[in-house]
Structure 1
Amino acid sequence: MTAPTRPADIYLRFLQLAEALRGLPSLPALDPLEERILTIIAKAGQDRQRLSVRDMMAKKELGAPATLHTRLTSMREKGWIMLSDTEDARRKQIELTQAALLHFDKLSKCMLKAAQI
C-alpha cells in the first residue's frame, strides 16, 4: 500500500473500508437518521451518561418524537440497541447491543488500517 499523499486520503480510505463493512452479514443496515442516533447513543455510553428513550425523543434536531420512536423500534428489531429498565418502570435506558459494540470495534480497525503508512 502506498502512503497517502494528504490527510484527506486517509479519511477517504477509511470511508472505503467502512463501506465494505456494510456488505458483511452482521446486522441489518441503518438509514442515515438511525446511524446518527446510533452515534449519539454510543457517545453517551462512552461518556458514561444515561440516555433514556425520553431523553432521545427530546432531541428536536433529530425530528418529531413519533419519528424517533419509530426509528428506535426499528433499531431494536434490527439488533443495534436494547432497552433496559431503570428505577422508574416508565423510563427505559437505551444501550448498544454487543453486536453494535462489535461493529464499532470493526470501524475502529478500519480507521487504524486507513491510517497505516
Structure 2
Amino acid sequence: MSKPTRPADLYLRFLNLTEALRGLPSLPELDPLEERILELIARAGQSQSRLCVRDVMARDELGAPATLHTRLKSMREKGWITLSDTEDSRRKQVELTQAALSYFDQLSGAMLKAAKGA
C-alpha cells in the first residue's frame, strides 16, 4: 500500500489496523465505555497516579456509578484489570493486567505500522 497522502489517511490506516487487533480471538472484546475506562486507567498508570474504584466511579463523564461498577466488574472478569489492596482496606486500586499492557503494546505497533505506511 502506498504512503498516505493526507494526515487523515494516516489516522484512518491506524483505525483499520486497530480494528483488526480487536478481532483477534486472544483479546476479550471491550465495549466503547470499557475502552474509555481502560484508557483512563492506562493514563493514570503512565503518570504514576493512583486510581481507585471510587475515583473511576466519580467520573461523571463516564456515566452513572452503578454502570461504571458493572463495567469494572466485567473488565475484571475479562482479564483487563485487577484490583489491588491499598492501605485502606475499603479502597481498591485499579490496575491494568499484563494482557491489557500487551494490548497497548499492540496498539503502539499499529500506530508505528500506520506511520510507516507498511
The secondary structure found in structure 2 opposite 1:2 is coil
1:28 paired to 2:28: yes
Which whole-Å deviations, capped at 9, do the CAs of 1:73-113 have from their partners, x for residues lacking one? 00000000000000000000000000000000000000000
Q: Which runs of 5+ in 2 are unaligned?
A: none
- The answer for the alignment partner of 2:8 in structure 1 is 8
The secondary structure found in structure 2 opposite 1:34 is helix
TM norm structure 2 = 0.97
Provide the rounded CA distance (Å) in 2 between the counterparts of 1:27 and 1:20: 11
Which whole-Å deviations, capped at 9, do the CAs of 1:56-78 have from their partners, x for residues lacking one? 11111111111100000000000
- The answer for the alignment partner of 1:82 in structure 2 is 82
The secondary structure found in structure 1 opposite 2:93 is strand
CA RMSD of aligned residues (A): 0.7
Provide the rounded CA distance (Å) in 1 between the counterparts of 2:22 and 2:103: 10
The secondary structure found in structure 1 opposite 2:94 is strand
Q: Which runs of 5+ in 1 are unaligned?
A: none
Give the partner amino acid of 2:68: L
The count of aligned residue pairs is 117
Q: 1:27 touches 1:80 (CA, 8 Å); kept in 2?
A: no
What is the CA distance between 1:3 and its match in structure 2? 1.3
1:1-117 map, 5 Å: 1-117=1-117
